[in-house]
Structure formats: structure tokens, C-alpha cells
């Protein structure tokens, strides 16, 4: 596939425009460390629009919009439009626009009338991403965005959330309970009454997955993971007024036998437009209007 790279003295980043402008690789050069989880079969296949996300490589960093879970668009204007698994953007090619400092990529929605644009630039140890979504239709548009960046975790990885007292499970879990169960963070009790440290990654042999959200609106737009056996801080920074929710995906060998985790800043709550509508967890974008936000990835040696 075509691949575009951005590189400075600390970071090398690779993008696959034909595969949803996936950030396929993010190397922290001082430690020669690959930050993002890589395909375990060593390759990629082009997806077809509407295919299931799990049928292809589940690696790197993808953009999720206008939903994560597949659903029917629930709002007036485009009600009933089918929205595919993990959204539209990951499975269709993007256009690339080289810039003096960085790279822009954009794509048109298919089920809904919008243009999605992401601009990436590097500055020392920081990846800076600027986002725009423009409503090209004549009706208000509802869309949920989330960053789906799968990090290469290990058993020393620690989850560092913004000031948080409670989290909520959003997928049924044998240990954390059914969807909607609330837990104290970082220490809680599991369904067996045993202490459970939510800020720690269990071994790959655990053979389970978890998906949680910070309960309600986040208080500060940042979250981090320790990686590379505790030698690297992987930190996301984003505007909490525009990206007010934070999800966490933990794959401890339970999905495809893979081992990774993801910090998922999100503009909607949670994972599906149908759920967001019920919870009044998303705001509309007016006809002809553009919404902008940013995300930074900061890599720092410990």
C-alpha cells in the first residue's frame, strides 16, 4: 500500500491513506520503541465499505466516525441510515494533501453528507493532530468521534486517567459486571468480591477484554499510559469542552488473542449513536457548519 511518513529527531510516524489514513506506526526513536500495536500476521488487507472491523488487522490508530458500534442513524433527517461497524472512515481511502510542515488527509462520508479532515504535524516529542468535520447537508448532523489508537502495552503498563473517582462498564464483563455497572477508580471489587486494580493491565493469558468509560464528563482533557516496561509515558491531550468523554479499551488476550489497550477520547457517550441519543450525550452540527478540535500525542522518557 501507499505509505506516507513524517519524521523528526525523536519520532517517526507512518500513515496508510488507502486504509482509512490509519496511523500504522509511531516509533519513539530514543528508545527504538514501536508505540502502536502491530498486525501479528505482519500485513494489511484493504477493507470494503461496511465490512466488520474485526475481520481485518486490528492494529495502529484509526479514526472512528460517526459511530463505533454499528447502528441505524437515530435522528431526524437521515433516520434509519445504516452506519457500519467502527464507523465509515477506517475502511475507505482518504485523499492526502502534503503541507510545508506536516500532512493533511480528508475523506467524504458515504451514509451521511460530511467531509472529515485531519492534519498531522510533529514538534519534538509531540504529534499534533487538528480535526475538522464539515456538515455538507441541509439538515443538522449528529456524529460521534473517537480516537482508536491501540498501544503496545505490557504487564508493567499503568493507566493514568484525569481526576477520576468512578468509571462505568460499557460492555458486559464477567468480572466488572453488566453494561452500566459503576466502579470506584483505581481500586474496586470485582463480581467475586476480590480487589481489582482498574489502572493495571492483566497478563495476556487472562484471555478477556474490558471496555470502560470515565463516568460522566471528564474534568481534564488528558490521559496517559506507561509503556515499554515503564520507560515511556504515552500521553493524550485534547480539549475537554469539545471532547468531553474518555473510553478505555483493554484487550488482555480475549479478542483475537491479541494484547493491547487504547485510550479513546470521544465526542459522544458512548460507542453508538443510538446510545448517545438515549443519554442525550451528543450535540448536533448545524447544516453548513464546521466543528474543529485537536488531539496531541506526547511521548516522554521516564
Domain ranges, residue 27:
4-301
Q: Give the pLDDT of residue 125.
A: 98
Burial 183-217 (b: 16+ CB within 10 A, else e): bebbebeeeeeeebebbebbebebeebbbbbbbee
173 pLDDT more than 90 = yes
Mean pLDDT throughout 227-251?
98
Give the pLDDT of residue 273: 95
Number of domains in the chain: 1
What was the pLDDT predicted at 78?
Answer: 97
Contact 143, 114 (CB under 8 A): yes
Region 20-41: mean pLDDT is: 97
Res 281: pLDDT = 86
Please check the confidence at residue 26 and state whether its pLDDT lies above 90. yes
How confident is the model at residue 290, as a pLDDT? 98
Q: What is the pLDDT of residue 285?
A: 97
Q: Does residue 286 contact residue 298 with C-beta atoms inside 8 Å?
A: no
Mean pLDDT of the chain: 97
pLDDT computed for residue 55 by the predictor: 95
pLDDT for 207 equals: 97
Record the cell numbers describing residue 96, joined without a space: 492526502
Q: Is 18 left (phi over 0), alpha (psi -120 to 50) or beta?
A: alpha
Query: pLDDT (tens digit, 9 = 90+) per residue, 265-301?
Result: 999 999 999 999 999 989 999 999 999 999 999 999 9
Residue 5's pLDDT band (boundaries 50, 70, 90)? very high
pLDDT at 50: 93
- The pLDDT of residue 238 is 98
What's the average model confidence in pLDDT over 143-160? 98
- The per-residue pLDDT for range 60-94, each reduced to its tens digit, is 999 999 999 999 999 999 999 999 999 999 999 99
- pLDDT score recorded for residue 42: 84
Average pLDDT estimate for 217-246: 97
pLDDT at residue 12, rounded to an integer? 98
User: Whose grid coordinates read 506526547?
Assistant: 298
| pLDDT score, position 48 | 94
Domain harbouring 90, CATH code: 2.70.98.10
List, in order, residues 6 or more apart from 168 with CB less than 8 Å away. 180, 181, 182, 183, 212, 213, 214, 215
Q: Enumerate residues 6+ apart whose C-beta is below 8 A from 85.
A: 51, 52, 53, 54, 69, 70
Q: Is residue 123 predicted with pLDDT exceeding 90?
A: yes
- What is the percent of the chain with per-residue pLDDT over 70, rounded to a whole number? 100
Lowest mean pLDDT among 11-25, 41-55, 192-206: 41-55
- Residue 244: the pLDDT is 97
Amino acid at each position: 500500500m501507499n505509505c506516507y511518513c513524517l519524521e523528526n529527531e525523536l519520532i517517526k510516524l507512518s500513515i496508510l491513506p488507502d486504509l482509512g489514513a490509519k496511523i500504522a506506526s509511531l516509533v519513539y526513536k530514543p528508545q527504538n520503541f514501536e508505540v502502536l500495536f502491530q498486525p501479528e500476521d505482519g500485513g494489511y488487507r484493504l477493507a470494503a465499505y461496511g465490512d466488520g472491523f474485526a475481520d481485518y488487522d486490528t492494529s495502529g490508530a484509526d479514526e472512528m466516525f460517526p459511530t463505533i458500534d454499528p447502528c441505524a442513524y437515530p435522528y431526524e433527517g437521515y433516520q434509519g441510515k445504516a452506519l457500519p461497524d467502527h464507523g465509515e472512515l477506517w475502511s475507505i481511502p482518504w485523499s492526502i494533501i502534503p503541507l510545508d510542515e506536516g500532512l493533511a488527509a480528508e475523506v467524504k462520508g458515504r451514509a451521511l453528507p460530511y467531509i472529515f479532515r485531519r492534519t498531522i504535524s510533529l514538534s519534538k516529542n509531540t504529534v499534533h493532530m487538528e480535526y475538522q468535520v464539515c456538515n455538507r447537508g441541509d439538515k443538522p448532523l449528529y456524529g460521534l468521534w473517537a480516537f482508536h489508537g491501540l498501544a503496545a502495552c505490557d504487564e508493567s503498563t499503568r493507566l493514568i486517567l484525569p481526576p477520576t473517582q468512578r468509571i462505568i462498564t460499557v460492555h458486559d464483563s464477567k468480572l466488572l459486571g453488566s453494561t452500566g455497572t459503576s466502579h470506584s477508580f483505581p481500586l474496586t471489587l470485582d463480581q467475586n468480591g476480590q480487589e481489582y486494580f482498574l489502572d493495571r493491565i492483566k497478563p495476556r493469558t487472562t484471555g478477556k477484554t474490558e471496555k470502560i468509560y470515565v463516568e460522566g464528563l471528564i474534568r481534564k482533557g488528558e490521559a496517559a499510559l506507561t509503556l515499554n516496561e515503564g520507560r515511556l509515558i504515552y500521553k493524550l491531550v485534547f480539549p475537554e469542552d469539545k471532547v468531553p468523554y474518555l473510553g478505555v479499551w483493554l484487550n488482555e488476550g480475549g479478542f483475537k488473542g491479541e494484547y493491547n489497550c487504547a485510550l479513546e477520547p470521544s465526542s459522544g457517550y458512548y460507542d453508538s449513536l443510538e446510545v448517545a441519543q438515549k443519554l442525550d450525550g451528543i450535540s448536533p452540527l448545524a447544516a453548513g457548519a464546521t466543528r474543529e478540535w485537536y488531539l496531541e500525542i506526547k511521548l516522554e522518557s521516564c
